Amino acid sequence: MSDVKFSEDHEWIRIEGDSGVVGLTNYAQEQLGDIVFVELPDVGKQLAKGDEAAVIESVKAASELYAIVGGEVTEVNESLSDDPAQVNSDPMGGGWFFKFKIGDASELDGLMDENAYKAFTASLE
Amino acid sequence: MTESEGELQRTPLYDLHRESGAKFAPFAGYEMPVQYPTGILSEHHHTRSAAGLFDVSHMGQVTLTGADAAAGLEALMPIDVIDLAVGRQRYALFTNPRGGILDDLMVTNLGDRLFVVVNAACKSADIAHLQSSLPDDCALEVLVDRALLALQGPAAASVLGRLAPETATQAFMAAAEVEIEGVGCLVSRSGYSGEDGYEISIPAEASEAIARRLLAEDEVAPIGLGARDSLRLEAGLCLYGTDLDEDTTPVEAGLVWALSKARRADGARPGGYPGDEVILGQLADGAARRRVGLKPEGRAPVRGGAELVDDTGRPVGSVTSGGFGPTVGGPVAMGYVETAFAKEGTALNALVRGKAQAMQVTRLPFVKPNYYRG
C-alpha cells in the first residue's frame, strides 16, 4: 500500500511503510520551467523538518526543496544528474528526488491528500 | 528602475502575448512576456534553428534632428557618430565623467535624422541626459507610439524577405525604411541573440497585424525575455544593469571594439566625451579588471552575484550573468576579474551556496555568431 501526500510548498511524499519518497509536483515543475540541474542530499544525511534538502535549478532561477518531514536519507535518484528534465516530464515518477526513513510520522499530519492539493492549486490560479 | 506592480505599462502587443499563452513578469516597468507554453529551452533552440519573434517595444526609441545632432550626440559618447554613413547603425555607449557606462544603445543614421534605441530601464534617464546636453538647435522626439520587434534566427532573412524582398540582402548593421504589409517600418539587420536577424520599428497601431503576419510563417515562434537572456548570454553580449553599470568602463567591460578609432588618442576627434581621460588612459595602460567568459565545470549553473576566488581563496572578482546555456548544453557565465586572472584558461572557483565550484576563464562568445555579412 502506498499513500501520497502533498505540501503547500508543492512537494509530494509517497509513504511506503516507515519510508518516504519525495519529489516536486506537476504544478511546481510547470511554475519552475525547464529544470537543468538538481543537487541532491548525501545518503545518510539527517534532515529535520524544514531543512533545505535539495536545490533545483531551472533555466530561470535556483530554488530549494525543503524537507517536509524529518528523517535519514537512504537513497537518491542518481539518474537526475544526467537527466534532470525527468522532473519536468515525469514529476511523480522518474523525477523523484530521494527516499528517506521517516523520523517522526506525526510530522505527516496536516499534509494534503490529492483532492485537497488539487483544490489548493486551483485556488492559486 | 522597476516600478511597483500597479503602475506596470504594457506594450502594444500585450493582448497578442496573452492570447499566445505567455507568462508575464515585470521588467523595467513593463509587464513583459517571459516565456510561452513551450518554455525557455525550446524557445532558445527554436531561435537558433529557425526564427524567433521578440517584442522589445519596452525599449526607448528616439529621433534626433538638426544640423548639430551628430556632433551633439558624439559629445556624450566615445563613438564616431559624425562619420556614421547614411543607412548604417552602430553600437554606442553613454559615459559619465568617471568613464562609467550610463547605458548601451544603438544609433542609426537615417539621413535626415538619427534614430536611437535605448534600454527600457534607462530610457527616462537617457532622455533627460540628451535633453540637458544636446545643442539647442537639435530636436529630440521620443517615439512613444512605435513598437519594436526583433526577428532573430537563421530563417529570419527568408521569412522577412517574403514580406519585404529588399531586406534579404540588407547587410549586418544596415538600416532602411521599408514597407511591410503596406506599413512604413524601419528595419535594421541587427539584434541581440548572436543570430542573423532584424529589428523592426513599427507604428504601434500596425504592430499587432505585422506580428501576426510574421508568426503565421512556419519558421516563426514567439520568444519571451527568458530565452532572450540565455541567447544573449551565450552570444557574450552584455545586459545593462547586470554586466554594465555606471561604475564600469568600456575598457573593463571588454567593449574596446565599440570605441571608434576617430575618438581614440590618435584619432581625428580624440576625447571630447564624459570620462575621456579615464577611458583613453585605460586604452593606453589597461584596466585593473576585465569582463571575461566563465565556464563552470559540471552541470550546476552559477548565477550572477557569485563571488570568484583564486586557488588560495582570495576574492578576485564576481559573476555578473550566469545560467544554463541551452545551445552549449551546460552552464555558462560571465563576470569581472582582476586583470591578472583574465587570461583564457585561468582556473577560478565560484562560491555557490557556500561551496567552491570550479570555473575556467574562457573566450566569449560561447556560441559563434551567425551574422549576415553579405
Model ipTM value: 0.85
What are the beta bridge partners of residue B139? Answer: B65
Chain A residues touching chain B at CB-CB below 8 Å: 33-34, 36-37, 39, 55, 57, 59-62, 81, 84
In a domain, A124, yes or no: no
Over residues B120-160, the pLDDT tens digits come to 999 999 999 999 999 999 999 999 999 999 999 999 999 99
Distance separating alpha carbons of residues B152 and B57, to the nearest angstrom: 15
A120 in any annotated domain: no
* Residue A123 lies inside a defined structural domain of this protein: no
Mutating which of B223, B234, B324 best tests the A interface, going by the most A Cβ atoms within 10 A? B324
| Alpha carbon of A4: minimum distance to chain B alpha carbons (Å) | 28
Tell me the nearest-neighbour CA distance from B121 into chain A, angstroms.
20
- Tens digits of per-residue pLDDT, B74-120? 999 999 999 999 999 999 999 999 999 999 999 999 999 999 999 99
Whether residue B40 and residue A81 make contact (CB cut-off 8 A), yes or no, is no
Chain A residue nearest residue B41, CA to CA: A34
CATH number at residue A87: 2.40.50.100
Residue A105 DSSP class:
G
Q: Tell me the backbone φ, ψ of residue A112, rounded to 5 degrees.
A: -95, 150
**pLDDT tens, A69-123?**
999 999 999 999 999 999 999 999 999 999 999 999 999 999 999 999 999 999 9
Residue A118 lies in a domain: no
In angstroms, what separates the C-alpha of B226 from chain A's closest C-alpha? 7
Q: How many domains does chain A have?
A: 1
Q: What is the pTM of this model?
A: 0.94
Closest residue of chain B to A84, computed from CA coordinates? B299
| Local structure of residue B153 (DSSP, 8 states) | S
> Do residues B250 and B256 lie in contact, with contact meaning Cβ atoms separated by under 8 Å?
yes
Write the pLDDT tens digit of every residue in B310-326: 999 999 999 999 999 99
The CA distance from A105 to the nearest CA of chain B, in Å, is 30
Select from 3.40.50.261, 2.60.40.10, 2.60.120.380, 3.30.1360.120 the CATH code of B5-57+144-234: 3.30.1360.120
Q: What share of chain A is helix, strand, coil (3-state, %, to 5)?
A: 25, 40, 40
Helix axes B40-49, B225-234, angle to 10 degrees: 60
B324 contacts in A (CB within 8 Å)? 36-37, 57, 59
User: Which residues is B307 bridged to in the sheet?
Assistant: B318, B351
Total residues belonging to chain B: 374
- Give the domain range for residue A38: 3-109
Domains of chain B by residue range: 5-57+144-234, 288-374
CATH class of B288-374: mainly beta
Instruction: Enumerate the residues of chain A whose CB falls inside 8 A of the CB of residue B323.
Output: 59
